Amino acid sequence: MTRLLIVGPQGSGKGTQGVRIAETFGIPVVSTGDVFRANVSQGTELGEQVKSIIDAGQLVPDELTSAVVRDRLSKQDAAEGFLLDGYPRNLAQVMHLDEFLEGRDESLDAVIVLAVPREESIARLKKRASEQGRADDTDEVIAARLSIYETETSPILGVYGTRGIVDEVDGVGSLDDITNRIIAALEARGLTRPAAA
């Protein structure tokens, strides 16, 4: 059972590394950004509710976001562990998640923080914008998202830090090197990968 959270500024590579780490530990990725984007592209009611918020780089209301996460974590495949990507993103969401996990007698095992300098994040986001054309990857929205990260998301690391579960990993280097650094940090905590099939 491995319950992880990956945190990093937009453009830190947390999405890519999250998928790799989840595969390594045999757990599903729960990415709120992916869930919201899928709902927007499918034109669901949730998608309609969140589209303009996401396009502006603002945060979707906490209650709505936490309800989406509770729903997802209640699915069978998350019973044995999960990797959260992009949630919680502020202190209110940390409280919501705590409440939910406590109700299941669970807690997070580790919080991986991908450390990437701001200029590097911005350069990566601009590259992604030109490759994928995401509506929220414009200069203005990138700046808004990075400042929300600094003011609202960074403080959650203080809370998790006092619980002794934060592993800060250098997010600059080759994809494989970064993945290996994260795996090493998690294994140093005694978290084990499932035996290869």
Report the catalytic residues: 14, 89, 128, 134, 145
Distance CA 142, CA 12 (A): 12
Site for ligand AMP in 113-132 (CB under 6 A): none
Contact indicator for 162, 98 with CB cutoff of 8 Å = no
Q: Out of 72, 89, 96, 181, which residue is the one contacting ligand AMP (CB under 6 A)?
A: 89
Whichever of 28 and 180 has its CB closer to ligand AMP, that residue is 28
136 to 10, 53, 142, 146, 181: CA distances (angstroms):
11, 10, 7, 12, 29
The span of 21-29, 32-40, 123-131, 184-192 binding ligand AMP (CB under 6 A) equals 32-40
Q: Is 59 in the site for ligand AMP (CB under 6 A)?
A: yes
Q: Which of 3, 96, 145, 181 binds ligand AMP (CB under 6 A)?
A: 145
- 109 φ, ψ (degrees, to nearest 5): -85, -35
Site pattern 163..192 for ligand AMP (x: CB under 6 A): ------------------------------
Interface pick for ligand AMP out of 8, 11, 18, 57 (rule CB under 6 A): 57
Token pair 């400042």 is at which residue? 147
The shares of helix, strand and coil residues in the chain, as percent rounded to the nearest 5, are 60, 15, 25
**Using rule CB under 6 A, residue 20 touches ligand AMP:** no
Q: Please give the structure tokens belonging to residue 193.
A: 């990968």
- Please check whether residue 73 is in contact with residue 100, taking contact to mean a CB–CB distance below 8 angstroms: yes
Let me know: does 12 contact 119? Beta carbons within 8 Å. no
Nearer to ligand AMP by C-beta: 58 or 138? 58
Q: How far apart are CA 117 and CA 141, in angstroms?
A: 18
Shortest Å distance, C-beta 121 to ligand AMP: 11
Q: For tokens 């998790």, what's the residue? A: 160
Among 86-94, 118-126, 163-171, 183-191, the segment contacting ligand AMP (CB under 6 A): 86-94
Asked whether 110 and 186 are in contact (CB, 8 A), the reply is yes
Which of 16, 51, 53, 167 binds ligand AMP (CB under 6 A)? It is 53
Instruction: Summarize as ranges the residues that interact with ligand AMP (CB under 6 A).
Output: 10, 32-33, 36, 53-54, 57-60, 65, 86-87, 89, 93, 136, 145
